[in-house]
Structure 1
C-alpha cells in the first residue's frame, strides 16, 4: 500500500513493502520568510599574463584550483529524534517523518536550514518502508488552487543517499488533498534509487531535461517517475510531469496542488548507520 492519511496533523501508520513506497504527509506549518542559498564550486584561479612586451613573460607557476568547500551543517539549528519531529524554516517544513515507527529503528535529523540538513538512520534489514525524512512546502493551507492556474511549478534539489541498504530519494507531490481520500492523487519523482520498486505496474517511459524515467502507476491515483540515471542535483519541471500524467489519464484533470516535498524513503540500512544529506531545495510556483 502506498497511501497514507493526514488528520489534524497526525499520521496513520501504513505498512509498505520494499516493492511499495510510502511517504506520509504532514499538516501545513506556519510560513516564514524564505531564504535561498546554494552550494557552488569556484572556478580555477587564473594566472595573470605579463603586460610587458620588452621581455618574455615568466613561465606561470602551476596553481591548484580554488574550490569552495561543499555546504555542511556543522552547527544545527534544529535536532530531533522524535518520530514526528519537525521544524518550520523559510516557508518550508523539515520533517523526520518516521511514519512506520512500529518497524523503524532510530533516526536523528539535524538541520541548519530548510535547504541544508542531514539525517542519520539505522534501519533493520527488512523489506518495508520505515521512514521518509523530507523537506516540503504546503500550499494555501492544504486548499491549493487549480493546476491550470499555474504557469510554473518547478523545483531545484540536491540530495545524496548513503549508497547502502534499500531506499529511494524522491519528490512526493499531493494533489486534490493530502493523504487518503476520494480523488486524492500522489505523484512521485525518484531521483536516486537503490533496490527499490514503486507501487503498481511499469507502464511506459517519460523523457525530459535529458533524463529518461520509467513511469509506474496503480489505479488508486498513484504515479511514480523513476529516473534511470541517478540525479544528485538538478531542476525538475513538475508542471510538465503533472500535465503529462493528466494527459495519460493517470491523474484527474485540473487537480489542486497541495504539497510538494523531497526526501528519502528508507527501507533498510542493513542494520548499520546510514546518512542522507540534503544541500539544496526550493519550489517555484506562479
Structure 2
C-alpha cells in the first residue's frame, strides 16, 4: 500500500494500493453493483389434481416453505493455522497465507484462521476511518519474488472464490507485483477488484476493459499503479491475468516485458462498520506455464 484516499504515502512491501472512502479522489467513483448469487429454489411444475374438501377430521395442512440453504459448500471448520499477529503467515501448497496488518498504527485487531491456502477466513475489527488498514491475502511468490519475464509465459490464469462482509469500507482484490515487490523505482502494481464497497482506487479512470463476460473500469496513476475494477461483483470465477497484463502493457500503463514477481488475492479493509466483520476465501489457484 503506497497511497490512500488522503494521499498518505507509505513504503511497505507486500501491500495492495487503493484509496478508501466514499468521496471522489482523482475521478468519479465507480462502485461495483453487488449481485449476490441466486439462492432461489428451482421451480416445480404444477400438476393436476382433484381438490379434496376439508373435513373436521382431516384438516388441510399448508406446509411452511423451507428457505433455500445458505450453508457454504466448503468451510474452514478445523483450522491448521491461526494468527492474530500483524505479520503472521503460513506456507502451504506453494502459497503463503498472510494476515498482513501492514498499517498497524491505525489498525484494529484481526485474526486469520486457515485450513489450507485455498480455504481460510479472517475476522477483522477496523475503526471508521478511510485509510486502508490491512490486506489479509494468499499469494504466490514467483522465483522467490525475483520474478520471471512476462514474455516467458504463454499462460497466467487464476481461479478464486471470496466474499466480503457487506459492511464497512473494503475491496476484495487481486494484487500483482511486476518488476519487483513493494515500492521501488520501476515497480508496477496491477490490481483486479472483484468486489467493492465504498472504495475507490488511486489515480484516474482511463478506460474500460471487457473479458469473460465482465466489464472493468481501469484506473491508473503516475506511479505504476493500475486497477481493473469490476462493474459487477464477482464472488467466484477465473481470470486470464496474462491477457490483462498484456492489455495494460499495450496501453503504456506498464513497461514492456516486466518480471512477474507475486500474485495475491485478499481483502483490503478500511473500516468494518464499527464491529467485527469476516472475509471468507474458499478457492484460489494460479497456473503459469
- Note the C-alpha offset of 1:12: 9.5
Tell me how far apart the structure 1 counterparts of residues 16 and 232 of structure 2 sit (CA, whole Å). Answer: 31
Tell me how far apart the structure 2 counterparts of residues 249 and 217 of structure 1 sit (CA, whole Å). Answer: 11
Alpha-carbon contact 2:20-2:169 (below 8 Å) kept: no
Q: Which residue of 2 aligns with 1:107?
A: 110
Alpha-carbon contact 2:20-2:170 (below 8 Å) kept: no
Alpha-carbon contact 1:104-1:131 (below 8 Å) kept: yes
Tell me how far apart the structure 2 counterparts of residues 124 and 234 of structure 1 sit (CA, whole Å). Answer: 31
Aligned equivalent of 1:137, options 128, 140, 143? 140
Q: Which residue of 1 aligns with 2:194?
A: 191
Relative to structure 1, the CA distance from residue 15 to residue 240 in structure 2 (aligned partners, 3 Å threshold; closer, same or farther) is closer
- Note the C-alpha offset of 1:17: 4.7
Q: Which residue of 1 aligns with 2:171?
A: 168
- Note the C-alpha offset of 1:105: 0.5
Relative to structure 1, the CA distance from residue 263 to residue 66 in structure 2 (aligned partners, 3 Å threshold; closer, same or farther) is closer
- Note the C-alpha offset of 1:114: 0.1
Alpha-carbon contact 2:167-2:272 (below 8 Å) kept: yes
Query: Are residues 1:80 and 2:66 paired?
Result: no
Normalised by the size of structure 1, how large is the TM-score?
A: 0.79
Relative to structure 1, the CA distance from residue 137 to residue 106 in structure 2 (aligned partners, 3 Å threshold; closer, same or farther) is same
- Note the C-alpha offset of 1:13: 12
- Note the C-alpha offset of 1:178: 0.3
List, as ranges, runs of 4+ consecutive aligned residues in structure 1 with deviation greater than 4 Å: 3-7, 11-17, 65-69
Q: Which residue of 2 aligns with 1:212?
A: 215
Query: Are residues 1:97 and 2:125 paired?
Result: no
Matches of residues 38-53 of structure 1 in structure 2 within 5 Å? none
- CA deviations 1:194-252 (Å, max 9, x no partner) are 00000000001000000000000001110000000000000000000000000000000
Relative to structure 1, the CA distance from residue 141 to residue 5 in structure 2 (aligned partners, 3 Å threshold; closer, same or farther) is farther
Tell me how far apart the structure 2 counterparts of residues 222 and 251 of structure 1 sit (CA, whole Å). Answer: 9
Aligned equivalent of 2:127, options 124, 127, 136? 124
- Note the C-alpha offset of 1:5: 4.2
Tell me how far apart the structure 2 counterparts of residues 257 and 251 of structure 1 sit (CA, whole Å). Answer: 12
* Structure 2, unpaired ranges of 5+: 4-8, 26-41, 43-67
Tell me how far apart the structure 1 counterparts of residues 134 and 275 of structure 2 sit (CA, whole Å). Answer: 15
Aligned equivalent of 1:154, options 150, 157, 161? 157
Relative to structure 1, the CA distance from residue 114 to residue 243 in structure 2 (aligned partners, 3 Å threshold; closer, same or farther) is same
- Note the C-alpha offset of 1:6: 5.4
RMSD (Å), alpha carbons: 2.4
Name the SS for the 2:249 alignment partner.
helix
Query: Are residues 1:271 and 2:274 paired?
Result: yes
Normalised by the size of structure 2, how large is the TM-score?
A: 0.78
